[in-house]
């Protein structure tokens, strides 16, 4: 395959005229730094925030000419109003448009919905699994929650939204590259009855992901909307750890029906868990509940329980905040080995203590989801623009 260079991409982009047909987008300084990996090209184009919808054809044209280059197997282009980038900053408030009459008015939305927003075709509900910090077992929880939901007879997919540290390929024992449908959309990988997509399928495990914010959002857009998910009852999104601008922006732009927060019993982790709760409250995403991971230790020889990390912190915090407590997941000796081996505990030991806990968590998540949706509180339908 012919190697793609940034210079060659810039040369091709010089054929795209700027927003006012004065010069091209490269000479006008509108093109971000270009990232190339495995024949895939990622970049953003800076435009005025209030004209983003109007200038969508410019974005599509730039993506089209790059996709047509020899050696390019995919291109993801985003429009951004943030020229600096680097931290997935929240979008700046819109500036007054010079020609307000040209902006079409959106129709009023039904109660509880955001105007003009749409979900992902074929997917009934999308739920996020998040944590206020790393190292609390969020991804392991997301995978086993997905397996628990599938065990309830649902059609389930899982999206690994942790661009910088994708762990889904390892956790599910999946290798290789996804196939495409007519060269346009990706076919999800499959394992243990789950449909799965992760940036880890598209780049090598050792490849460092040093991306600017708009590129991260573009990659997530592609994995969410350019994947042939088919008909799913639930898509579980394994969110990146933490509560910075990156996570807040994704919470705003993914059509979430609810969120699950993963914590550990330690006070520090609980403080971080509160940040995660507040983040979803800020964007009006329903909180389905808190999971206390590594809640207690089960001795492999006697089965005795030891509260080596303290106990009950997440449960008491959930009660204090009036948020559902979904369950306590014990720490067992084999959890790391089975996870690294690509056989989640929900598969390797379906009748074990942890699997039963995950099954119960899945049932409580479904009950909370049904309660919110029955009350019209399924969360705002927020999408990638």
Give start and end residues of each alpha helix (H) in the chain: 6-13, 56-67, 138-151, 168-172, 213-225, 245-253, 267-282, 313-321, 335-340, 345-348, 353-374
Collapse the DSSP code of 186 into the 3-class scheme (helix H, G, I; strand E, B; otherwise coil) and give the result: strand
- Which class does domain 6-84 fall in? alpha beta
Q: Where in the chain is the domain with CATH 3.40.50.300?
A: 123-374
**What is the Cα–Cα distance from 85 to 326, expressed in whole angstroms?**
37
DSSP category for residue 163: S
State residue 333's pLDDT score. 62
Q: Which helix (H) or strand (E) holds 180?
A: strand 180-181
Report the C-alpha gap between 83 and 47 in whole angstroms: 9
- Give pLDDT, residue 93: 34
Distance separating alpha carbons of residues 309 and 302, to the nearest angstrom: 19
Cross-strand bridge partners of residue 259? 128, 287
Could you say which residues of the chain have pLDDT below 70? 1-2, 21, 37-38, 49-50, 52, 79-118, 163-165, 203-218, 243-250, 266-269, 298-301, 308-312, 333-337, 339-340, 375-385
Q: Where do the CATH 3.30.300.130 domains begin and end in the chain?
A: 6-84
- The token pair at 43 is 């970049």
Residue 153: half-sphere exposure toward Cβ, Cα within 13 Å: 0
Contact in structure between 239 and 93 (CB atoms under 8 Å): no
Burial of residue 279 (CB within 10 Å: 0-12, 13-18, 19+) is buried
Enclosing H/E stretch for 196: strand 194-198
From 179, 176, 171, select the one nearest 345 (Cα to Cα): 171
* pLDDT, tens only, 271-311: 777 777 878 887 788 889 989 888 777 666 677 777 766 66
The CA distance from 195 to 230, in Å, is 9
The model's pLDDT over 153-178, given as tens digits with 9 standing for 90+, comes to 999 999 988 766 678 888 888 888 88
DSSP letter (8 states) at residue 134: S
pLDDT of amino acid 204: 58
H helix or E strand, kind and range, residue 127: strand 123-130
In whole angstroms, what is the distance from residue 380 CA to residue 154 CA? 23
Q: Domain 123-374 has what CATH class?
A: alpha beta
pLDDT of residue 234: 94
**The tokens of 26 are what?**
């490269």
pLDDT of residue 121: 86
Q: What is the DSSP string of 63-99?
A: HHHHHTSTT--EEEEEEES-SS-SS-PPPPPPPPPS-
Number of Cα atoms under 13 Å in the Cβ half of residue 295: 22
Q: For the chain, what percentages of helix, strand and coil (3-state, to nearest 5) are there?
A: 35, 20, 45
Residue 146, SS3 per DSSP: helix
Q: What is the pLDDT of residues 198-209, one digit of tens each?
A: 877 776 555 544
């Amino acid at each position: 395959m012919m190697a793609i260079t940034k210079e060659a991409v810039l040369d091709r982009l010089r054929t795209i005229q700027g927003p006012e047909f004065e010069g091209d987008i490269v000479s006008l300084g509108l093109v971000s730094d270009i990232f190339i990996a495995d024949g895939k090209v990622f970049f953003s184009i800076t435009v005025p925030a209030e004209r983003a919808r109007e200038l969508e054809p410019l974005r599509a044209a730039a993506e089209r000419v790059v996709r047509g280059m020899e050696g390019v197997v995919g291109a993801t282009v985003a429009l951004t109003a943030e020229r600096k980038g680097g931290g997935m900053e929240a979008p700046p408030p819109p500036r007054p448009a010079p020609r307000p009459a040209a902006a079409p008015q959106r129709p009023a939305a039904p109660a509880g919905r955001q105007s003009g927003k749409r979900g992902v075709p074929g997917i009934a509900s999308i739920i996020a699994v998040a944590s206020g910090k790393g190292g609390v077992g969020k991804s392991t929880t997301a995978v086993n929650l997905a397996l628990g939901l599938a065990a309830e007879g649902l059609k389930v997919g899982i999206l690994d939204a942790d661009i910088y540290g994708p762990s889904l390929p390892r956790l599910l024992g999946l290798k290789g590259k996804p196939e495409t449908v007519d060269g346009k959309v990706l076919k999800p990988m499959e394992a243990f009855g789950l449909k799965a997509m992760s940036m880890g399928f598209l780049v090598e495990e050792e490849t460092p992901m040093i991306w600017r914010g708009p590129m991260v959002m573009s990659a997530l857009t592609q994995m969410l909307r350019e994947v042939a998910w088919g008909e799913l009852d639930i898509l579980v999104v394994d969110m990146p750890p933490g509560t910075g601008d990156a996570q807040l922006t994704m919470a705003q732009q993914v059509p979430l029906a609810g969120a699950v927060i993963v914590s550990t019993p330690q006070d520090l982790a609980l403080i971080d868990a509160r940040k995660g709760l507040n983040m979803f409250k800020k964007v009006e995403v329903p909180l389905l509940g808190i999971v206390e991971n590594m809640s207690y230790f089960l001795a492999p020889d006697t089965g005795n329980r030891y509260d080596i990390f303290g106990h009950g912190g997440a449960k008491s915090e959930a009660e204090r905040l009036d948020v559902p407590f979904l369950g306590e997941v014990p720490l067992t000796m084999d959890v790391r080995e089975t996870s690294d081996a690509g056989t989640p505990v929900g598969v390797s030991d379906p009748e074990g203590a942890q699997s039963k806990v995950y099954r119960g968590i899945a049932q409580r998540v479904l009950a909370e989801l049904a309660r919110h949706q029955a009350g019209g509180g399924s969360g705002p339908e927020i999408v990638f623009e």
